[in-house]
Structure 1
Amino acid sequence: MDPTLNGAGYKAAARDLGFAVVSLYTCEYTATAPDHAAGDDLSYYAGEPEEAVHAVTEAGLDLRAVVPAMEVSTHIADRIAELLDLPGNEHALAGSRRNKAAMRERARHAGLRIPEFHLVHALDEIAPAAHDIGFPAILKPTSGAGSQGVTLIPDAEALRDLGGLETHDAFDMPITEWLVERYIRGRQISANYYSFAGEHRLVDMWEFRQPDDRDYDFPIWDNMQIDDGHPEWHKVDGYVREVLDAYGIERGPSHTEVKCSDGEVYLLEVAARLPGGPMVGMWTEHSALRPYHDSIRCFLGERPAMFEAPLTFDARCGAIAIRNDDEPGTLVAIEGLDAVRELPGIEEVLIGYQPGDQVPVTRDDLTIPLGFYFSGADRDEVLRMLKEIRSRVSLRIERPSGAAR
């Protein structure tokens, strides 16, 4: 289902497992992505589960699994699997694993700890909701991904001009509703699991580390893999297992983000899919996990080998985003890039803009100018590399104010 971007890795894994690659594209964003159908044996386009089922059954295909490859269609995949009587996650809860309003209602029903929130459907509803919640508050579109449209509301003054809010999400779908939530201060952690027949196997956790203690609406700055020596590890593990059960995640990968504050864990979001960012590539490089193969096996109803033995990593992994947190401007140069490329442990360099490009303020995954994925022998080595990379590389941006920094 929508095997584009990070999810395109499913195509090679399916073929490696001996299957034809039948790809279903569900929305305008994925259907028009460049080369989206590369590697397909058959490609279908449908926005509704019933339409998709009709198309593939009319073709006489012997379907063995429905695999959600991208966040935009995880809920549709569950419904299609149910219609075809194939293994999947609890289809009645599929919407709560995708739409954040439904996600919050499910959490409230299940007794999971979440921030106080209001659901609003118009710009003029945001201010009253924020005043009721209290400041700081945070505004989140109920769909989308990658923090696009997420906006910190630090005080009442910030409500005076909301005209610059995003109108479309990361999948180019119109934003029609938002959550206004209480902002939770504390450590933000993502936890990645695989599930099979209701059993949950933890793969790893990552902490979103910030440059200082200011409130934020975009979490990606320094990101590093943590272990069971981290002070929040065991609380997060116990809480996320409750989340996976409450949302009917019974098979396949999942990615859950939480905040830890004053000894409590709060749910930010849960998704029945592989994580984005550095995780999948790092797992493949530094562990025995085969992320795409193991995901497909879960949806085939086959227990993956990773459930039979402890999962270990031969290195500690990290990622870094070099952001533009000042005003927009023209990128003049990326300074120190070659020096960072030569550092031991650098595994991937992600360049979002070239000299001459206009660089916006970094507000989401789509506007990160420069990033690095890397590994080190242990936690101390990863922390050292985070400092080393920031000391060596910088963006030279010419801004309207005349400053180039």
Structure 2
Amino acid sequence: MPTTLVLSRQPLASRPLQEWVDDPADSVVLFTTEQAVAGAEDELAKYFPRHHLVADYHSWTAEAAAEQAARAFGVDRIACTSEHDVLRAARLRARLGLPGQQPASAAAYRDKVLMKQLAEQAGLAVPAFAAVDDPLDLLDFVDAVGFPVVVKPRSGCGSVGVHVLRDREGLEHFLAGEPESALPFLPGLWMAESFVTGELCHVDGVMADGRIVHAWPGQYSSGVAEYLAADTFISSVLLAAEDPRRAVLMAFAAELIAALPAAPDPIAFHLEAWICPDGRVVLCEIASRAGGALIAETYERAFGVHLAREGLRLQCGSEPTIGGQPAELERPNGWLMIPPGFGRFTPPAERCPVPGVDLTVQLAAGAVGHGVGKASNTAARALVSGATADEVRRRIDEVVAWWQRNASWS
């Protein structure tokens, strides 16, 4: 079993890495933060006797410390669980001469400008786009394509920092927000895209050496940006095998993965794309990690494989538990995220009565809601199954209606 340096800033209480990897005490060196292991000291001592804790995970000193830890423990592999670590892990592999995804591949799956340049060169449809290194770049882009325009971080995730500029007032508001922006308005950090109208879909699975190993598509009810901006419900349903969009999305995913610099070893991926009214598939983005929200859990219920866990195991050099590409959807599934409202929360008095629904309320009675704020903020989450994809969609609608009748914010 190789020794792997695992980069993770997630709390062990919510992401039990000791249950995800094989023989963690003997095979893993955990690189994490003091906050992530707070309250899990016993687990740290038992499962990760070899570890390195840092105070500021995203600092330059932390990256240097990760290299020092890798050399000190003589690791054979570098693995990560977060998109924020994809490029860091790739740089460490290159510097130490270790196998796995290298910087050219990681950059193509992180930098949305480079990603779209490579996709466009391969003949795949992308929105009109441009790097935004100064305000004049944004003004030029608006003049060229008109409103609405989407401005986003080039290496962002979870729709953090995404702005939809619908008119001149929205443009001026974005420019005026520079002093308070969490991401500096600096060259190399921002981009602009034309607004795309269509069904936002996703394809999730495992890829290796420029090809799909195992994957399946689904359709969102809306984008995460809309979830953040409008404090609305967001859900997704895996497409039925006979749904004609499934083959179209799988073909698009295969072409895109073949067009980007390949990761030689198997890793998880998450693709988002629109199916437009004219039938075109247009790239939103692709990441070389498992999808967020409840995508991994839904995939596990459908195919018996938790993509985030499988993705980490594969980076650690473990044998895959995933088989070949499925031809059928083994269990129709979907998920729902319910946003926090504004004010003091009163949860439903009864359990959700909709069949096939596993709903978890995540806020305590009396908690004060301030809206969504970020994608991980939810009042409740639900995994939903049914006999067909259409039944899953109907049940999600029933859960939303039930919640709106029975939960309140005052």
Give the TM-score normalised by structure 2. Answer: 0.79
Give the whole-Å Cα distance in 2 for the aligned partners of 1:339 and 1:87. 49
1:31-50: CA deviation from partner (whole Å, max 9, x where unpaired): 64563886433125475666
- Give the AA of the match of 2:164: L
1:56 paired residue among 70, 74, 88:
70
Q: What residue in structure 2 maps to residue 382 of structure 1?
A: 392
1:204 aligns with 2:216: yes
- Give the AA of the match of 1:11: Q
Give the whole-Å Cα distance in 2 for the aligned partners of 1:288 and 1:258. 25
Q: What residue in structure 2 maps to residue 346 of structure 1?
A: 357
Cα deviation for residue 141 of structure 1 reads 1.8
1:177-212: CA deviation from partner (whole Å, max 9, x where unpaired): 32221011001111112123444123322201249x
1:252 paired residue among 244, 261, 267:
267
Question: Does the 8 Å CA contact 1:287/1:311 hold for their aligned counterparts?
Answer: no
Give 5+ residue unaligned stretches, structure 2.
1-6
Question: Structure 2 matches for 1:87-102, cutoff 5 A?
Answer: 87-102=99-114
1:191 paired residue among 200, 203, 210:
203
- Give the AA of the match of 1:239: F
Give the whole-Å Cα distance in 2 for the aligned partners of 1:369 and 1:315. 26
Cα deviation for residue 255 of structure 1 reads 0.7
Partner of 1:268, secondary structure, is strand
Give the whole-Å Cα distance in 2 for the aligned partners of 1:276 and 1:260. 21
Partner of 1:365, secondary structure, is coil
Question: Structure 2 matches for 1:92-171, cutoff 5 A?
Answer: 92-122=104-134, 126-162=138-174, 163=176, 167=180
- State the percentage of identical aligned residues: 20
Q: What residue in structure 1 maps to residue 336 of structure 2?
A: 320
Give the whole-Å Cα distance in 1 for the aligned partners of 2:291 and 2:363. 20
Partner of 1:393, secondary structure, is helix
Q: What residue in structure 1 maps to residue 286 of structure 2?
A: 270
Cα deviation for residue 378 of structure 1 reads 1.8
Partner of 2:78, secondary structure, is coil
1:318-353: CA deviation from partner (whole Å, max 9, x where unpaired): 1223346xxx7323423x36332x433222425257
Structure-2 change in CA distance of 1:89 and 1:10 (3 Å): same
Instruction: Point out the more displaced range, 202-211 or 236-245.
Output: 202-211
Give the whole-Å Cα distance in 2 for the aligned partners of 1:33 and 1:332. 28
Q: What residue in structure 1 maps to residue 52 of structure 2?
A: 43
Q: What residue in structure 2 maps to residue 403 of structure 1?
A: none
Cα deviation for residue 9 of structure 1 reads 4.3
Q: What residue in structure 2 maps to residue 67 of structure 1?
A: 79
Structure-2 change in CA distance of 1:370 and 1:288 (3 Å): closer
Give the TM-score normalised by structure 1. Answer: 0.80
Partner of 1:161, secondary structure, is helix
Give the whole-Å Cα distance in 1 for the aligned partners of 2:28 and 2:357. 33
Question: Does the 8 Å CA contact 2:359/2:380 hold for their aligned counterparts?
Answer: no
1:210-250: CA deviation from partner (whole Å, max 9, x where unpaired): 49xx9997796231111332232112111111221222233
Question: Does the 8 Å CA contact 2:80/2:312 hold for their aligned counterparts?
Answer: no
1:237 aligns with 2:247: no
Cα deviation for residue 136 of structure 1 reads 1.8
1:179 paired residue among 170, 182, 191:
191
Q: What residue in structure 2 maps to residue 402 of structure 1?
A: none
Give the whole-Å Cα distance in 2 for the aligned partners of 1:175 and 1:76. 22
Count of aligned pairs: 381
Cα deviation for residue 130 of structure 1 reads 2.4
Question: Does the 8 Å CA contact 1:141/1:175 hold for their aligned counterparts?
Answer: no
Question: Does the 8 Å CA contact 1:227/1:233 hold for their aligned counterparts?
Answer: yes
